[in-house]
Amino acid sequence: MSIAIPPATYLPDFLAHRADERPDKPCWIFGEHTWTWAEAWESVRRTAGALRADGVGRGDRVAILAKNDPAVLQVILGGCQLGAATTVVNWRLAGDELDYVLNDCAAEVVFVGHQLLEQFDVVRDRLEHVRKVIVIGGDHDELEAWQSAATPNDRDPAVQPDDVCVVMYSSGTTGRPKGVQLSQHAMVEHSVNGLGDASYGEGDMLLVAMPMFHVGGTSYALQAPVIGATAYIVPEVDGALLAAGVMAGCTHAFLVPAVVTALIAAGPQVMGLFSRLKSLGYGAAPMPLPVLRAAMEAWPDTEFQQVYGMTEFGGVVTVLNDAAHRDAAHPERLVSAGRPVPHTEMRIVDPVSLEDVPQGESGEVWFRTPQATIGYLGKPEATAELITPDGWVRTGDLGRTDEDGFLFIEDRIKDMIITGGENVYSPEVERVLAEHPAIQELAVIGVPDDRWGETVKAVVAFKPDRAVPAEELIAFARERLAGYKTPSSIDIVDALPRNPSGKILKRDLRKPYWGDRARQV
């Protein structure tokens, strides 16, 4: 780390500092448009002024439904100036899911990417709190005129570091997504702590490709001002767009394992192009060892950083740095999640006794960190289940540590599937499939997949004389769920295995697929 990190109390402070320090250098590159640092900061201040003119203030919420775009950062940081929070909405959601999220967050102003207008219009009349809709881009762009007409707004005096600035919806363990509230203070902490020890220097450029509706995508983009790097933003993960970013000079990237797998499959020429990267961060799902080794061999001069985290931590909470990747004395650490980031404590806890387990034994992984969420929006009971009275956050993951404090994730207590870096909670899928009239009982599990890490599988028992083709159930789910949540396969059984108390034994359902794999996630 050779770049001086500016002090910050509020999330926009990093961008404001860089705008003063290097006003005419490039801050954001998006398509044919480049914003200098001064222009980017002015756009944030004007966004704040326009939101204020529309009646948005401290404690209010707005939402943005858009593919990756500098507008996402403008709205988040502009909202910060007022003490308002931005919900970055997953544009892959189906209509009922989109309806739920926008109403649950009570967004008063919604920004919609022009490519997603048709999707938004399906739910527009169901939204209870929205007073204004602003279109981003395309032939009917309203954002630029809306910003230009506004008076720039600096931070309101009433704004506090503990004000919520981002609400990210994570899939719901009880069937509905939950809004994870992250404060400005938490995001400032994450923006610095999550950098790891990758090398940064003048002229660096971050390739921002992961969806900003994930905390990893947004947090990565927000780290660019921390190190004074240009953010090269692409609307979505696409091979040609990624290659264009590297050819344009991107030096750092964060990718999920499924994307790295696809790059390897594309052949030596593509892999050679990406060898230009100074640093590659990866995470959101376990990286298969053969894929990781192939990437390290193809990119010998690239620093590798594996990250582990949750939306509830603003993103990264442990890092496996490049030195650990190349530690010949400990090759087993290639499957480790690394060690906690600065200012973060970690415990491995017996899920029943809630006592710490001995080093090397498995337990639930807990963290205490200033990056942590203040809780779930409007869900105090779920918040109490997540955060202990003394501030420890339960991850729901089972893990162990070695003698040097490296964390190894082994399984999940909570019922989650990670497919291509997307989190899918099986109760959410089960709730939808259970509405099909032919189904007597069902369970949803994750099964191994060479490309996506895991895919969604439903195991179904039908009511007597009500059997239907598996394809019908998949189509039924696809109409009601995002594509990545829809089962890719369905097993039909006479009955599901249960324990004496009647609980479905999902571990038994998973066993034929996961076999003797060391990691059951």
Would you list the domain boundaries of the chain? 11-186, 343-412, 417-514
Residues 6+ apart with CB under 8 A from 407: 308, 318, 336, 337, 338, 339, 340, 346, 365, 399, 400, 401
The architecture of the domain spanning 11-186 is 3-Layer(aba) Sandwich (3.40)
* Contact between 187 and 11 (Cβ < 8 Å): yes
The answer to whether 312 and 337 have CB atoms below 8 angstroms apart is no
Number of residues that make up the chain: 521
Report the chain (521 residues): mean pLDDT per 10 consecutive residues. 87 98 98 98 99 98 98 99 98 92 98 97 95 96 98 97 97 76 98 92 96 95 98 95 96 92 90 95 85 93 96 97 96 94 97 92 95 98 97 94 94 80 83 89 91 93 92 95 95 84 78 71 55
pLDDT value for 415: 73
Of 129, 117, 118, whose CA–CA distance to 87 is shortest?
129
Can you give the pLDDT at residue 459? 96
- Note the pLDDT of residue 173: 52
> In 3D, which of 437, 428, 440, 427 has the Cα closest to residue 495?
440
**In this structure, are strands 439-449 and 453-462 parallel, antiparallel, or unpaired?**
antiparallel
Are 433 and 445 spatial neighbours (Cβ–Cβ below 8 Å)?
Answer: no
Across the strands, what pairs with 445? 457
Q: Does 3.30.70.100 match the CATH number of domain 343-412?
A: no
Measured between alpha carbons, how far is residue 509 from residues 447, 451, 493 in Å?
10, 21, 11
Taking the C-alpha atoms of 144, 149, 155 and 160 in order, what is their torsion angle to the nearest 10 degrees?
-70
**Maximum distance among all alpha carbons in the chain?**
72
Whole-angstrom distance, CA of residue 243 vs CA of residue 262: 13
Q: Determine the distance from the C-alpha atom of residue 136 to the mean position of all C-alpha atoms in its chain, rounded to a whole number.
A: 22
How is residue 80 written in tokens? 């910060």
pLDDT for res 207: 98
Identity of the amino acid at 372:
A
pTM score: 0.85
> 386 φ, ψ to 5°?
-80, -45
Cα separation, 454 vs 16, in Å, equals 41
For domain 417-514, the CATH superfamily is ANL, C-terminal domain (3.30.300.30)
Q: Which two tokens stand for residue 246?
A: 């590297």
